[in-house]
Amino acid sequence: MALHQPACSTMTDRVSVIIPTLNAGRMGIELVEALRRQTLVPHEILVIDSGSTDGTAAALSRAGATVRTIASADFHHGTVRNDAALRASGNILVFMTQDAAPQDGHLLERLADALRRGAAAAYARHVPRRSASPLEKYARLTNYPAEGSTERNSTANAGPRSIRSVFFSNTCSAVLRDVFERLGGFPTHTIMNEDMLFAARLRRAGYRIEYVPEARVLHSHDYSLIQTFKRYFDIGVVFAQAREELAGLDATGEGIRYVRGLFTTLLRDRQYAWMAAAAAESAAKWVGIFLGKRYKSLPLPIVKRLSMHRRYWDRAT
C-alpha cells in the first residue's frame, strides 16, 4: 500500500480539544487547567457532558471550556466525538478522556509535531499512576512503551498482522481534521473501540499513525474482575461487529504473547502474590471475549447484564 501523505501542519495550527465527561469532578477541572497551560495553547476545549450530577458541566465552563450537555442515554463513544468534531473550528482535533492528566506542558506540541512530520494521526503514551497494581503497570508499559514501535508505524498489509498495527487510543490522540472528515469520522456501529476501528480505516487508506512516547499522560485503571470481564465482553462484541474491518489482524497471538510476558515479568520481579490475580484476570478476559464474539447467540437480557456499556443495547434494539 502506498503511503498517503496528508498536508503538513504549520505553526499556525488551531487545536480543538474534545473531551466527553461524566461526573469528572476535580480531575476534569485539573485537566482543563493543564491544557490551558500547554506550550501549544488549544484554540478551544470542547466538553460533551452526558448527564453529570456533580456540577461538572458548570465547573468546566467556569474553567474555560465550551460545554455542551446531552442526556446520558444519548452517549455513544463514536457519535459524541463526531458531533463535537463537527462543531470544532481547529484544523487539529485532539481527543482526550476526563481521567487523562498531561505530565508536562508539551503534550499538545509533541502530538502536533508528529502531524507536522507527515502523520495523519498520533497518540500519546499512558504512564501508570503510582497506585496502579503490578498488572495494570504491566499493561501500560506493554501497550505504551517508552520508545516508539516500528510495527505501529508500518503500513504494510501483506500477510497476518498483529492487532497492534491498528492500536490507537482516544484517551489522548490527535488527528488532522481534513483526514478525519475525509474518512467519515469515528464509526458509530460498534459498542466501543471506535479509536481502533478508525485507525484501521486510516491504515487501509494509506495514512500513517505515529505513536509519540514523548507525549505523556498519566492514565491507568484498576478494574475489578467483574469490570474486566464486562469490558472484554464488549471487546468481543467489537470483534464480531467489525469482523470485516479487522480481517487479517491477529488478536489471538498477541493475547498469548501478552499473557506470557505478564507472568514472565511477575516472576522476574518476584511479584508472586500477584500470580493468582493475573491468572484470574487473564481468564476473565478470555471468557469475556469468547462470549462477546458470540453475543448474537445470547438472549438480549443476558447480553445487557454481561456488557459494561448497557445503554448501548437500548439503542441497538
Return the H-helix or E-strand segment holding 137.
Answer: helix 134-143
The whole-angstrom separation of Cα 144 and Cα 139 is 8
* pLDDT tens string 273-306: 999 999 999 999 999 999 999 999 999 999 999 9
Percent of the chain predicted with pLDDT > 70: 92
Beta bridge partners of 50: 70
Cα-based angle 78, 83, 88 (whole degrees, multiple of 5): 120
- 64 with 48: CB under 8 angstroms? no
Question: Which residue type sits at 227?
Answer: Q
How confident is the model at residue 161, as a pLDDT? 78
Q: Which CATH superfamily is domain 15-218 in?
A: Spore Coat Polysaccharide Biosynthesis Protein SpsA; Chain A (3.90.550.10)
Closest by CA to 125, choosing from 106, 141, 104, is 141
Return the H-helix or E-strand segment holding 301.
Answer: helix 300-306
75 Rama sector, left if φ>0, alpha if ψ -120 to 50, beta otherwise: beta
Q: What's the whole-model pTM score?
A: 0.92
DSSP result, 58-86: HHHHHTT-EEEEE-GGG--HHHHHHHHHH
The whole-angstrom separation of Cα 67 and Cα 293 is 36
In the chain, CATH 3.90.550.10 sits at 15-218
pLDDT band at 1 (very low <50, low <70, confident <90, very high): very low
Closest by CA to 46, choosing from 11, 3, 89, is 89
58 Rama sector, left if φ>0, alpha if ψ -120 to 50, beta otherwise: alpha
How confident is the model at residue 165, as a pLDDT? 86
* pLDDT tens string 202-259: 999 999 999 999 999 999 998 999 999 999 999 999 999 999 999 888 889 999 999 9
